[in-house]
């Protein structure tokens, strides 16, 4: 299954569980603390936004990304994605040239790093 769809399912599960816990008769300690510090209305609003609304928005975003992932590459507009990758490579090359030109000390100078290689981080 697509990773974005799994993240969307997880975000929706978090939102549903938080909503059920909010609607349950027994109040949670975090909600009680928020109400005590911020007042009843603001505390409920902060809890709702942080634990219910935000996961729903994140779930919608990941769901949209997951659905777009099923569209074949031939039908997608990949020009904008390629332009972003080209701009990232140009920025990396410019920074690399500045490091190589400006610094003679080997410990400080950066080695070549492609933006997609996260194993070197």
Question: Hey, what are 109's tokens?
Answer: 């100078």
Tens digit of each residue's pLDDT (9 = 90 or more) over 37-64: 999 999 989 988 998 899 999 999 888 8
Terminal alpha carbon distance of the chain: 27
CA-CA distance, 21 to 50, in Å (whole number)? 14
Higher pLDDT, 105 or 9: 9
Using the predicted structure, report yes or no on whether residue 73 has a pLDDT greater than 70.
no
- For the beta carbon of residue 100, count every other beta carbon within 10 angstroms: 13
Q: For 92, which DSSP code?
A: H
Nearest CA to 43 among 27, 25, 26? 27
Of 16-20, 50-54, 70-74, which range is least confident? 70-74
Contacts of 105 (CB under 8 A, 6+ apart): none
């Amino acid at each position: 299954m697509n990773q974005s769809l799994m993240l969307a399912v997880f975000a929706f599960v978090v939102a549903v569980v938080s909503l059920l816990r909010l609607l349950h008769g027994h109040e949670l300690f975090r909600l009680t603390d928020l109400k005590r510090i911020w007042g009843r209305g603001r505390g409920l609003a902060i809890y709702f936004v942080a634990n219910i609304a935000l996961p729903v928005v994140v779930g919608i975003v990941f769901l949209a990304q997951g659905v777009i992932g099923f569209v074949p590459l031939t039908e997608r507009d990949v020009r904008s994605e390629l332009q972003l990758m080209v701009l990232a490579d140009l920025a990396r090359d410019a920074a690399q040239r500045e490091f190589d030109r400006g610094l003679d000390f080997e410990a400080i100078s950066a080695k070549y790093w492609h933006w997609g290689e996260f194993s070197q981080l």
